[in-house]
Amino acid sequence: MRIVRTAAEVRAIRPSLGKLGFVPTMGALHDGHMSLVAMAGQHCDAVAASIFVNPTQFAPHEDLAKYPRPIEADLARLEAEDVALVFLPTAEEIYPTGFDTRIEVGKIAERLEGAVRPGHFSGVATVVAKLFNIMVPDIAFFGQKDVQQTRVIWQLVRDLNLAVEIKIGPTVREPDGLALSSRNIYLNATERAQSTALFKGLRAAEEAFAGGVSDAPTLRQLTEAPIRQTAGLIDYVSVADPDTLAELDRVGPRGAVLSLAVRFGTTRLLDNVILGGNSVVHA
């Protein structure tokens, strides 16, 4: 496994890697990340990953400084999966002195997470575009747990004619249903126990939808009910169009994305399920 820190080093190695699958990460790797690495290995000749805690997608009051960075453990996990190349840049490599360009994706980045975290998806889109230009992957792999991010990246690739295919892997969960996230380590014991209410709410709405309920307000209420029995503070529960993420009054033949964001103390958790159609939103 080659570990490199500059774009020039990546470009020197890239021609030898053949059809390349790329998994961009912010580190603190868990089984969800590793499922994407495995997925990339099934589709490509070689797999590359990046580990970069991107400062431009964090607001000043967010957790950039304390975001977990277990780099040695992360590298060991990637090496065990036969990853060929790991790009481990500094902030100065990605954003050199004088850097002054940002990508704004538009309406899909202004809803849900974009409304709660203004500027977040501009930071995501900008760094992903840079990583794609440096790595030049054939296929890039992202997880459905961050469903809005997958739609923003698909929009970016489509609108800017970027020569990379996007594949989405399913959400990986703990046995009790909590979606894996690098931020789960912030939860204390009480918060961790209560966090299972997110998936309970999503499953309740999913089961109601399977039984014929398509009214979006009812589905939102079913999702919220178990969460309101906890100390979790709901940022939003959304029933949205699978392509635009515009809110729906009723789930139609095209299905919907049921997503939520909930705060337990200082920890903010995201999760979602797909109602109707495929269980994974495919870009």
61 is catalytic: no
How many H helices and E strands in the chain? 10, 9
Catalytic residue among 30, 33, 61, 282: 33
Q: Which amino acid is at 239?
A: V
Cα–Cα dist 196/142, whole Å: 23
- Which residues are marked as active site? 33
